Amino acid sequence: MKTPIVKTLAAVAFTLYSHVVTAAPNVTTVPIGTSCTAYPGFDGRDAGPFIAIADSTGRAVDGIGLNAAYYIDGARNYGYVIAPASVPTKNITMRCSNNTLQAHLTMVAGGEATWQDLVISGDPTLEGALGFGFPEDRYANIPVQPYWHFIDDQQVPGVFLGAAGSSTFGFVDNWAGVAGEYYLLKLLGTKKFTEWELGKRDTVGFLKFTYAD
């Protein structure tokens, strides 16, 4: 059976929103599958611990690990995976368990960290946001999975995070008090999530897995 390949829309995003300073290279993405075998630290069943870093944005955020922004809506705790504009004091740790990408997150202030599934929100108002704990009463969340990248038939080193045939993310500049400046991460390259416009402080890039320090 042939493995499907998809050209991401990173270059298209750059063409449509030309005021963006830079954009990720136009790559061919190859989904690796939902098993844990491609993630760092695979032990024959699960994989990890590892982290993910910003890649190919053309901004200072490249090479910086990811963090989380937490929110409470009534009795529901949820949040977003974010890319801090400066090096965070601690990167969120990830693993693959039972063929699912998870992050070790403290969902309740003062509580113990627990493993939370990472997903792309299916709610169109969240515009393809990468996060955790999103409700599914109206819109099903989209599972994430690992991808390889190729440029001119040459494989790019590393494994990248993606979903629904795309591994290209919009890095949307944001600022929130003590959290400082950071980027929200929103999936691009699918018909469902291409209608929002990148601002002048936003950019486009990838999320690359690497071993935790």
Q: Considering the domain boundaries, does residue 1 fall inside one?
A: no
Q: Considering the domain boundaries, does residue 128 fall inside one?
A: yes
Q: Domain range holding 149?
A: 6-211
Q: Considering the domain boundaries, does residue 107 fall inside one?
A: yes
Task: Report how many domains make up the chain.
Answer: 1
pLDDT digits (tens, 9 = 90+) for 39-90: 999 999 999 999 999 999 999 999 999 999 998 888 789 999 999 988 877 8
- Check pLDDT > 50 for residue 4: no
Kindly provide the residue ranges of all beta strands, DSSP E only, lying in the chain, ordered along the sequence: 6-7, 28-31, 47-55, 67-73, 76-84, 94-97, 100-105, 114-117, 119-120, 130-132, 142-143, 145-151, 154-162, 169-175, 181-187, 203-211
pLDDT digits (tens, 9 = 90+) for 132-182: 999 888 899 999 999 999 999 999 999 999 999 999 999 999 987 666 789
| pLDDT band for position 200 (cuts 50, 70, 90) | confident
Q: Considering the domain boundaries, does residue 164 fall inside one?
A: yes
